[in-house]
Amino acid sequence: MALSKILPASRDQSVDAANLILNGEMKIAQRGTSATGLTTGGYRTVDRHYIQITSAGTWTLTQSTDAPTGEGFSKSLKFECTTANASLGASSAIRIQNKIEGQNLQSLAYGTSSAKSITVSFWVKSSKTGTYVFDLQNTDNSRISCGTYTISSANTWEKKTITLAGDTSQGFDDDNNGSLTVSWWLAGGSNFTTGTQATVWEAQDNTNRAVALTVNLADTIGNTFYITGICLNVGDQAPANYPHRSYGEELALCQRYYQIVEGGYFGSSVAGVSNAGKIYFISEMRASATVTWTTALRNYGGSWTVGAPIGFYMTTDQTKYAHPYKIASVSTQDAEFWDRYTLSAEL
């Protein structure tokens, strides 16, 4: 019986299906699925997506189950305006940001004559039609490049694709720090809109970043914006099919930057002497983590004070584990404290 060889289907070599964006499907939300009353930014709900809100109303953010039908997505990130600001100040801004380590960007060959173009594709739905702005910021060298997209039909899922040329002038540091910030603008004051739109890579001038933006998503209570299926890949085309990751794989990638763990101390406590416990991280983190006590789960023997530890040993390298310590008021066998902590090594 003759054996046949099945060859893979050919594909356009200008497309690299690897997705530089983590949690582009909005599946992971370790901090919680909703946050209300937001007037300032931060990492709020879905992992890896930083929200900037500056003097631009009040917002509810949700990990929504509204997603485009038939595309393999089950979640999206939803913005909803709960207090409006129809007259933005000069520094007002609303942005969704995703920050990427420099060592993950070396394949772009920026700073050389071989610099590659980059393509972002995503699904959006908004109650406000109009022109929106997307930009890339090289934070190592203070350079920007911007693109635009139009939401044509209100409250309808639409797919957008934007390609920006590579930067032959400046590259990215090859390290674990944030080098590229990817931003979606939803509102911007005059500090960002009074220049000339940066349609090619140029030295960062904030007045050139959101010139083409015709939308102020903060102008009316009830305005909404949804986004999901974000893919950022090397090349001048978006992949034909979204490169889905499993939930477990996406969670593990996000835990490099943020995770929730439990740990503490088992043994014999010594009264009046600090007794160090140990927290093993789920996976190695990007950098030494900021460890924050959140919940006391068990305190037995030794008369431990219920609450945050007094401090941490070895705080200069908390990438794999940390040592919280407390002081017991009495010496006792079989003493323990066991608490829950959050770990953050965000960009």
Count of other CB atoms within 10 angstroms of residue 111? 17
Kindly report, residue by residue over 254-281, the tens digit of the pLDDT: 999 999 999 999 999 999 999 999 999 9
pLDDT score at 12: 37
pLDDT score at 3: 30
**Among positive and negative, which fits the CA dihedral 24, 30, 35, 39?**
negative
Kindly report, residue by residue over 185-217, the tens digit of the pLDDT: 999 999 999 999 999 999 999 999 999 999 999
Kindly report, residue by residue over 226-242, the tens digit of the pLDDT: 999 999 999 999 999 99
Kindly report, residue by residue over 126-139, the tens digit of the pLDDT: 999 999 999 999 99
Kindly report, residue by residue over 5-25, the tens digit of the pLDDT: 222 333 333 455 689 999 999
Tokens representing residue 88 in the block: 């933005």
Q: What are phi and psi of 129, to 5 degrees?
A: -80, 165
Domain range 34-246, its CATH number among 3.40.50.720, 3.40.50.2300, 3.90.1150.10, 2.60.120.260:
2.60.120.260
Provide the 8-state DSSP code for 251: H
pLDDT score at 18: 86
Cα distance between residue 64 and residue 121, in whole Å: 19
pLDDT above 70 coverage of the chain, percent: 95
Average pLDDT, stretch 298-327? 93
Count of other CB atoms within 10 angstroms of residue 139? 19
Is 198 within 8 Å of 208 (Cβ atoms)?
A: yes
How is the chain split into domains, by residue range?
A: 34-246, 258-344
Q: Report pTM.
A: 0.94
Give me the chain's average pLDDT, please: 94
